[in-house]
A and B are shown apart, each in its own frame.
Chain A
């Protein structure tokens, strides 16, 4: 009883802090400021993009309309050189512009965490704030976009999450016969967006997907008799932003493709090796708004509807392949060659957004040098989101992750340790303002092998996240 009262009290404090802070969050992030439009023009519930927002993202952060997005820009850019100079290219520098206002925004994320520990007691944690993220994004003219995100967690933990440029239609602009939006180039550190329906820009909950979030190098096999352990030395994590180059485009309004090379993740700055990871993605969207923003038989409108801006009755099929090498030992050099494949089906109908998918892959020698056995990786998932009201969304996810353990190490007594998990993630998300969000999300494990093998309780979690941006 006392525990329940304590929990109620903490939840009350968390909600109280929302009431105190939301009044201060009345401003708008860079894109909203540039177009002087609502967050809901592009977001179902930030950061989850609606179909229009996704088309905006794919269009180099420009409103995807045939007439060009200039008429919609309210914060007029500063023209560095007269646009007419482009007529003289290559004898002149191609003209561009810079945003009129500094294109900067800030996002504050605070988390309250309730965790059941190994003894079934619970602990709580105020992560106020969990992180602060300066964001920047905009365009340098009609064919060059940029985006960046810096993450401050604690005074000694600052990370450049992403910073990249989008060269939109570079070949078309040079006069080559390439259809508009069919060939774009992204350069920098960015998210490869391997399965768009289950990535950052479609994630409302606090918890990242298992297939993207679990760093396999967290996996250790321990010998209970001796206490010795062996490590899974291959550290690829699909969730992380990576330095790279990506070519992408949209064909026939509804087919999207991308392929790119990334640095790999041993060391993102100086990973000087003879190999860069490679990936490809493909997506096909049937019905609804096209990937290019077009609406069949309708003239495109930019203004966000008062309600129902999330409705996009459509079916989408997505696929990716990722091929990498990870140096599991430097001297003598041993590399783990690995791959990942994924497929997802996403259906949206009225207020319901449903996705089902499966990610699988193989590592050829992740335990080297202790073992040269390979390991298979499997992670199915299901996600359902329902908009009860324009400010109220229900969430439910189910996810599973399995990865093989090497039989030779298990035979040697290294039996304890596994990342195999199965969990349910129910949640509810509220928009207190268009730019202020509260998410309550549970993380309930039906399988958590790591804890079970250690004779512990499953570490169920409850999160309350307050997130606002301006």
Chain B
């Protein structure tokens, strides 16, 4: 009898822990949405990372790895926003030697050779901030992995549009990051299930 009670308690405790974990890991069901556009003068801008600066919670990285591909002497994608702790699979799809020189705030984060026979190298990025990827062999190649504190981010498409979904209600600072332009922030207050529109005009 006592053992059964202990088992029930253990199961209940496990359920509570799993529920809490799930609750912290999942985006808010019925949460708010932020949509908008990013422009520079008359030009709509793609590859701009729009993200909520800080959300007080713990977020767990996705199990699936993000992919950064060295393909046709370019990095694909050019900008990759990820949640901190996400595993990134670096892939060399070219039949030639590359290297993977990653910098954070001007300091080397890692520098590894990507010979043509090494098709994949996985790394977990644990520090928040933009990581610059260069290839010392091909100086025209560059990309950014933007490591973020929370999963509420989006990358603008070719038309400069973005959508961030399932955001818990609250007041946030939304930031636009572009590799060459000055970052910009805007404040937004989001009610449950509501939608807000934010447009950015970036400048040099």
Q: Which residues of A contact B (CB under 8 A)?
A: 65-68, 70-72, 79-85, 87-88, 142
Contact = CB atoms under 8 A, between A and B. Distances in A.
Contacts of A81: 139-140
Of the four ranges (under 10, 10 to 19, 20 to 34, 35 or more), the interface on chain B belongs to 20 to 34
Interface string B119-152: 0000000000000101000011110100000000
B139 A85 contact: yes
Nearest to B204: A68
B144, B181, B203, B204: residue with the most chain A Cβ atoms closer than 10 Å: B204
B6 interface: no
Contacts of B103: 87-88
A114 B190 CA distance: 78
A83 B142 contact: yes
A294 to B, nearest CB: 13
A107 B203 CA distance: 35
Nearest to B105: A87
8 nearest CB pairs, A to B: A68-B204, A82-B142, A71-B43, A67-B203, A84-B142, A71-B41, A67-B41, A81-B139
Contact of A82 (B106, B134, B202, B204): B134
A71 B134 contact: no
Given A68-B203, A79-B140, A84 B134 contact: yes
A85 B134 contact: yes
B201 A87 contact: no
B180 interface: yes
Given A79-B140, A82-B140, A84-B132, A67 B204 contact: yes
A82 B41 contact: no
Contacts of B179: 83-84
Nearest to A81: B139
A82 B203 contact: no
B40 A82 contact: no
A88 B103 CA distance: 9
B134 A72 contact: no
B160 to A, nearest CB: 11
Interface of B: 40-43, 103, 106, 132, 134, 139-142, 144, 179-181, 201-204
Nearest to A73: B43
A87 B201 CA distance: 23
A87 B109 CA distance: 14
B109 to A, nearest CB: 13
A444 B1 CA distance: 123
B141 A82 contact: yes
Given A65-B41, A83-B180, 19 more contacts: A66-B204, A67-B204, A68-B40, A70-B40, A70-B43, A71-B40, A71-B42, A71-B43, A72-B41, A72-B42, A79-B140, A81-B140, A82-B134, A82-B140, A82-B141, A83-B142, A84-B144, A85-B139, A87-B132
Contacts of B134: 82, 84-85, 88
A68 B142 CA distance: 21
A142 B40 CA distance: 15
16 contacts: A67-B181, A68-B40, A68-B204, A70-B40, A70-B43, A71-B40, A71-B41, A71-B42, A71-B43, A72-B42, A82-B134, A84-B134, A84-B142, A84-B179, A87-B103, A87-B132
A67, A81, A142: residue with the most chain B Cβ atoms closer than 10 Å: A67
A87 B141 contact: no
A154 to B, nearest CB: 45
A82 B139 contact: yes
B202 A67 contact: yes
Contacts of A72: 41-42
A87 B106 contact: yes
A441 to B, nearest CB: 40
Contacts of B141: 82
Nearest to B136: A92
A353 to B, nearest CB: 29
B74 to A, nearest CB: 10
B41, B106, B201, B202: residue with the most chain A Cβ atoms closer than 10 Å: B41
Contact of B40 (A67, A79, A85, A87): A67
A177 to B, nearest CB: 16
A68, A82, A85, A87: residue with the most chain B Cβ atoms closer than 10 Å: A82
A329 to B, nearest CB: 54
Contacts of A87: 103, 106, 132
A83 B144 CA distance: 12
A65 B201 CA distance: 13
A139 B106 CA distance: 27
Nearest to A80: B140
A110 to B, nearest CB: 39
A409 to B, nearest CB: 61
A65 B42 CA distance: 11
Contacts of A68: 40, 181, 203-204
B132 A67 contact: no
Contact of B204 (A85, A88, A142): A142
A88 B202 CA distance: 23
B72 to A, nearest CB: 15
Contacts of B181: 67-68
B146 to A, nearest CB: 13
Contacts of A88: 103, 106, 134
A421 to B, nearest CB: 49
Contacts of B41: 65, 67, 71-72
Contacts of B106: 87-88
Contacts of A67: 40-41, 181, 201-204
A68 B202 CA distance: 10
B184 to A, nearest CB: 12
